[in-house]
Chains A and B, each alone.
Chain A
Amino acid sequence: MPLLSVENLSTGYEKDPIVSDVSFTIPSGCLFGILGPNGAGKTTLFKALSRVLKPWEGRICYQEKDISILGRREFARQVSVVPQFHGVLPPYTVEEFVRLGRYPHLRRFAALQDDDCRIVAETLALLDIARYAAKKITTLSGGEMQRVYLAQALVQKPRLLLMDEPTSHLDITHQIKILDLVNSLSEKQGLTVAIILHDLNLASAYCDQITLMKDGKIFAKGTPAEVLTGEHIEEVYGTRVYIRNDPVVSKPHIFFIPGQFS
């Protein structure tokens, strides 16, 4: 049984649909990559998956139940999100900020219990951010903030984690650290992860399955080897590439051809 299934989904903001007639399923425990050029509708799709936007047509099912009939708090105990843009935030400390992730588990007017505090402490340690737990989030660097956001999403103890470009603005080490961590959570704890990525090679190296989007529709889906072909990439991105097998992870590696637009 798939953890999440999207059936003929269309949605958008004002009148024109940004995502139209999209269908796919995310199997339990999978690291599921969503790729596509800017404006392909990836983030809009995520907004529908996280119930920020309502579907115009079609439906989204979590464990075969339409998500629109689930209670919001109940849903937030199952699905959490690492968002893309962070905007202005009040000067919380890292710990205060991460603790907010326990909100869906707390009863009305109830404070954090011992269990909640233990989960927060474990997550801070797991992400190696315990040492700046007392720092204000407004003073953190991009890489630190990305991990703090991930920590907040993880203390929600979700079964499905949605990550919108978690590696943008990060240097290569931080990119790999984040993806290694998510990968190990997926392997060890069975966490299912849907992740929007821009770096095709990172997607190829880490994702079990990939969905390639173009103009609000799904262009191709399958394993990295099936989706990341030269023809697909040229068609979707309008860029010529050539592909070799990566000898270390034996996944496709994409090489860009410089000079093709000059």
Chain B
Amino acid sequence: MKKACVFIFLLFFLAASIAAGILTGGTPIAPEMIFDALIHPGGQGTMHTLLWELRLPRILMAALVGAALAQSGVIFQAILRNPLAEPYTLGVSGGGALGATISIMCGISGIPMVLFCFAGCIISISLVLGVASVKNFTNSMLILTGVIMSFLFSSIVMFIFAVATSRDVYASVLWFMGSLAAPDSGSIRIMLFLVAPLMLILWGFAKDLNVLSLGDEKTYHLGIDAKKAKTALLIAASLIAGACVAAAGVIGFIGLMIPHLMRKAVGADHHWLLPSSMLAGAGFLIICDSLSQTLIRPLELPVGVITGMAGGVFFLLYLIRVKPTEVM
């Protein structure tokens, strides 16, 4: 009952955040003009372009990225049974950052850069899984390898920075902080037609995640080949996180924080935890993105700065207040 209430609340939260996203942005506009453009989707003019080609795609992108990062975080935490686990701790972001840095240094942009970055994520997670497979995919091995890879990749990025021009370094640093501004239609299509269906399929594995969260041995006892299931789900979760990093840069904290908050709100059962986290992640990122556009108007803050600051403070307060038995 409590879970259903939380779920309904999250639906309202998402709706409210979408409304806020439509009504606010880099340029202040009167609500009635926005409303007018909204109910006439076939119309023309600046207002129409602004709503249908800037704000709505941006909201869609924020929702998909937020949901995907949160879901990926839930999956990583369930499988690795570690409260610190999230796609970034396993090196997904490190590889993506290296891919993006290299493409900026080589003057590659647009879709090729997205692909480059995605390739970085995939190479990184493949290395982590490859190394961890030597030790039977134990959780500590996976986490340690992930942390090592992250350090390794960020050192390579630092090395590139040391020999690069300051303009390229600035462009890379801006990218690291994440941005949902002006998503190109290619990224949106990838998120909508590849990542979103994969997220729905992963939702269908809630039962298996419940079993995996009990540890490798119990997973075998309940009739799942833990090694195979862990590999498959980690790859899937890394793919969606990698797509997010490629499309929107390194937007931190969502994959770590949202699963913890939702576990407190709806409990550890992944049938509830997965959809709740997706809704909360989507709403949270839409709101952070609105804030990033409005806080220091006309300038725009990188959205990763907002998620990091707002999320960091909020999460810290939560951790101080929560009972130790309720953190995993």
Contacts and interface: CB of A to CB of B under 8 A. Distances in A.
B199 to A, nearest CB: 15
Contacts of B207: 103, 106
A50 B219 CA distance: 11
Contacts of B328: 88-91
Interface size range on B against A: 20 to 34
Contact of A73 (B223, B263, B268, B327): B223
A15 B155 CA distance: 36
Given A100-B211, A106-B207, A93 B220 contact: no
Given A136-B325, A139-B325, A77 B223 contact: yes
B217 interface: yes
A51 B325 contact: no
Interface of B: 78, 81, 204, 207, 210-211, 213-218, 220-225, 263, 267-269, 271, 325-328
Contacts of A76: 221-223
18 contacts: A52-B216, A72-B220, A72-B225, A81-B218, A83-B221, A88-B81, A88-B328, A89-B213, A90-B81, A90-B263, A91-B326, A92-B268, A100-B222, A104-B222, A104-B223, A136-B325, A136-B326, A139-B325
A167 interface: no
Contacts of A51: 220
B170 to A, nearest CB: 42
B218 A83 contact: yes
B208 to A, nearest CB: 8
A11 interface: no
Nearest to A108: B204
Contacts of A139: 325
Nearest to B215: A87
Contacts of B224: 72-73, 103
A13 to B, nearest CB: 9
B223 A92 contact: no
A75 interface: yes
Contacts of B210: 92, 96, 100, 103
A103 B211 contact: yes
A149 to B, nearest CB: 9
Contacts of B218: 81, 83
A146 to B, nearest CB: 14
B217 A72 contact: no
A76 B224 CA distance: 9
Contact of B223 (A90, A91, A103, A109): A103
A104 B223 CA distance: 6
A96 B222 contact: no
Contacts of A83: 217-218, 221
Contacts of A50: 217, 220-221
A192 interface: no
B215 A91 contact: no
**Across chains A and B, which 6 residue pairs bring their CB atoms closest together, nearest first?**
A76-B223, A90-B268, A73-B223, A138-B325, A104-B223, A81-B221
A20 interface: no
B231 to A, nearest CB: 15
A101 interface: yes
A92 B204 contact: no
Given A90-B328, A96-B268, A138-B325, A80 B211 contact: no
